Chain A
Amino acid sequence: MFDIAFDNVNEIIDMNGHGIYVWSVYSIAISIIIVSFIVAKNRIKGVKRKIKIKNAPS
């Protein structure tokens, strides 16, 4: 169960011609998830900044 299914890196990339489908799907999905986290983190920072500015002593 824990033997690697490929003999070398080229086989991993190519996956018998299916690599283009497999790797493109994973890369795009991972990118979308990472961007979602960055956007969510930035939103929190933005909201906190706005609240601080609004309530800053003049």
Chain B
Amino acid sequence: MISAFIHKFSSPKSFVQITKTLYPLFIFTGLSMLIIGWTWGLLFAPPDAVQGNSYRIIFLHVPAVIFAELIYFFMALCALMHIVWRVKLAAYLIKSAAPIGAMITFIGLFSGSIWGIPTWGTWWQWDARITSTLILFIMYLGILTLHGSFSNLEKSDRLMSILVVIGVVNIPIIKKSVDWWSTLHQPASISVSGGSSIDPSMLYPLIISIIGLGFTLISLGILSSRSYILSREKNKKWVLKHV
């Protein structure tokens, strides 16, 4: 029954049609909230008592690393769907999300490194949080390389899904690294379960930036998956009609 439900609502055709309708709403929401969040954070939020103005990188860095992990988690769910129920769309979504995950992980690492110069006095430290995030970046590149290494695309999809599921073990390590080991990186300042060590004047623009970047990345994912689905399904009748 679950299998029938999943197959009914996971056809590439329905996905392309539904996301085409949703794209304008997502991109508008994403960009508007990013502009509001970043303008608020960069110009209106007060400077930090210890870090001064360098802390303003937080409005980019924190959303970027949150989505670096969330995109991988999403890919892992898709990988399970592909392995267990052989859902084609799930494999297409993994392949489309991986470059976006790599891009946003790079932005997270890069922004953290630049933030480290005035704050820690160094741009890189082999501590647990930074190293596990670098491993996540390498995982994204590995997934893309693996998928591109085979001419048999069905085989590529399957191997890629297996690698994604194996790599998901890194996500809790990234999350808990600041609690398990004594690291240079500070512990989490905000938590989903409540409790935040940030003043509301800094927290609100941060939350808006997180939501804004989320919608922007979903919009990018829609575009990326649309082109990949069309190229993979190019011989299907619905694609010819769509084009």
Q: Are A52 and B243 in contact (CB under 8 A)?
A: yes
Chain A, interface SS category: helix
Interface check B162, CB cutoff 8 A = no
Query: B175-201 interface mask toward A, CB cutoff 8 Å, 1 = contact, 0 = none?
Result: 000000000000000000000000011
Chain A's interface size range is: 35 or more
Closest to A52 in B: B243
Is there an interface contact between A5 and B46, defined as CB atoms closer than 8 Å?
Answer: yes
Bin chain B's interface residue count: 35 or more
Contact B107 A40 (CB under 8 A): no
A29 to B103: give the CA distance in the assembly, Å: 9
> When the two chains form their complex, are residues A25 and B201 in contact, meaning their CB atoms are under 8 A apart?
no
Beta-carbon contact of A25 and B57 below 8 Å = yes
Q: Which residues does chain B contribute within 8 Å of A5, judged by CB atoms?
A: 43-47
Contact (A18, B54) CB under 8 Å given A24-B114, A44-B227, A47-B230: yes
**Which 3 pairs across A and B sit closest by C-beta, in order of nearness?**
A40-B223, A15-B53, A43-B227
